[in-house]
Amino acid sequence: MRRRDVLKRAALAGVAVPLGSAFDTQEMPAGHEDPLADGAHVRQAWVARLTRVAEPVLSHLAAGTLKRSMPVEGGPDRRAVTHLEALGRTLAGLAPWINLPADATDEGRARGRFARMAAEALRQATDPASPDALNFTEGGQPLVDAAFLAHAIVRAPGALWDALDTSTRRRVVTALAATRQIAPGYNNWLLFSAMVEAALCRAGEAWDQMRVDYALRQHESWYKGDGVYGDGPSFHWDYYNSFVIQPMLLDVLDVCGDARDAWRALRAGVLARAGRYAGIQERLVGPDGSFPPIGRSLAYRCGAFQLLAQVALRRELPRDVPPAQARAALHAVIRRTLDAPGTFDAAGWLQIGLCGHQPALGERYISTGSLYLAVTAFLPLGMPPDDPFWIGPGLSWTSRRAWNGERVAIDSALKEGALGAGR
């Protein structure tokens, strides 16, 4: 994206852009791209990529120009839903980072700017008089992305709730509650309804315990073993345990889990399974940062590793995955999926693909806005720079060590009879 376009849109949103930002990806020294580099350098590279991906969505929406400016690659019927997709998914990944306080560092100033853009974007998105007022009720898809928006609010209550003005808060509540008219599918969609209720609970609003209870109980019944849930009654080879199921189970229980004894009793199992699945994900990262192109929605790119990123953010990684190892594995995946030629169009918008521009990988429900689930790979930026995750050099991840002939720990299944013992 051209710098003058960024400056113009940010100015329209009332947000100052620091000139000569250290987070311009074109200025990034090559050493920052080594997954085993020092954590401070890797963090700088992550912030550069995160802000590059999120900038067009938030700067345009904050300026009221998202619908006018965002291209809509994909099916022609997606224009009514793609803009909410872009907002909800971008904020779901950005949220922990902007929830950290702004400070006088280059990163801190960038973080403050994105927090201000996010708040203004929410105002525009929910104001019926805005040219960028978004669709929360027509069709089924708005439930999905209202849930990602709700997930963002739960992940960043300071930046995305407490910082909002009273009228915007009221409109956000109205928009989220309006999605109750959409019946979820009998699959991972049950968690979309539950996530909306969790955000309403967090906001101190009336919320529907039955929607949460149904989602939690059904997913408990759909558990298949060794850290993996079915997407509904059936098991599918895909990344929906990471795209939706386990991240939302964790955060719904964090917000609402004390409301009922039965929900509280689920926590240990849900957490143990998330740890096991995060360990599996770390082993799925190939020596070059690639991963098996299995299942649907591969155009979400590095978003396939949201669960590993979230477990790292929660500081609940398995014992055999040190933070510096998880950081290196995630960095390798982020680079592999976001740096290929064709990932972005000339104006800086994501294009359909897993590694570059691959339109054939877009299912009928995929459009430009859908692609921003990739931002969820950046969740560990919600840990401050002095967290152990960001300190010191990276460690080789499991596949890199294995295929280099180095020592690798034996993998083992989750011991279901003693929750947590298999982690």
DSSP per residue, 188-237: THHHHHHHHHHHHHHTT----HHHHHHHHHHHHHTEEETTEE-SSSS--S
- pLDDT-based confidence at 416, cuts 50/70/90? confident
Closest CA to 213 of 205, 224, 221: 221
Residue 406 binned pLDDT confidence (cut-offs 50, 70, 90): very high
Percentage of the chain modeled with pLDDT above 90? 89
pLDDT of 321 reads 98
- How does residue 76 score in pLDDT terms, banded at 50, 70 and 90? confident
Return d(Cα 298, Cα 273) in angstroms, integer: 23
pLDDT in tens, 279-308: 999 999 999 999 999 999 999 999 999 999
To the nearest whole percent, how much of the chain has pLDDT over 70?
91
Q: Class of the 40-402 domain?
A: mainly alpha
- pLDDT at residue 51 tops 60: yes
For residue range 6-35, what is the model confidence (pLDDT) as tens digits? Answer: 444 444 444 443 323 334 433 444 445 899
| Mean pLDDT of the region 37-48 | 97
Q: What is the pLDDT of residue 163?
A: 97
Residue 38 DSSP one-character state: B
Contacts of 229 by beta carbon, 8 Å cutoff, 6+ apart: 219, 222, 223, 241, 245, 246, 273
Q: Any idea of the CA torsion for 2, 6, 358, 308, to the nearest 10 degrees?
A: 130
**Which residues touch 148 (CB under 8 Å, ≥6 apart)?**
85, 88, 89, 91, 92, 195, 373
Domain locations in the chain as residue ranges: 40-402
Confidence check: pLDDT of 328 > 50: yes
The CA angle 415-417-421, to the nearest 5 degrees, is: 45
- Span 157-175, mean pLDDT? 98
Whole-number Å distance between alpha carbons of 311 and 356: 28
Checking if the pLDDT of 273 tops 80, the result is: yes
Picking from 39, 23, 82, the residue whose alpha carbon sits closest to that of residue 312 is 39
For residue range 179-206, what is the model confidence (pLDDT) as tens digits?
Answer: 999 999 999 999 999 999 999 999 999 9
> Is 310's pLDDT higher than 90?
yes
Whole-number Cα distances in Å, 46 to 238, 243, 327, 339, 354: 25, 20, 10, 12, 18
The pLDDT tens digits for 125-152 are 999 999 999 999 999 999 999 999 999 9
pLDDT at 8: 47
Question: What sign does the CA torsion over 374, 377, 382, 386 have?
Answer: negative
pLDDT, mean over the chain: 93
Q: What's the pLDDT tens digit per position in 207-240?
A: 999 999 999 999 999 999 999 999 999 999 999 9
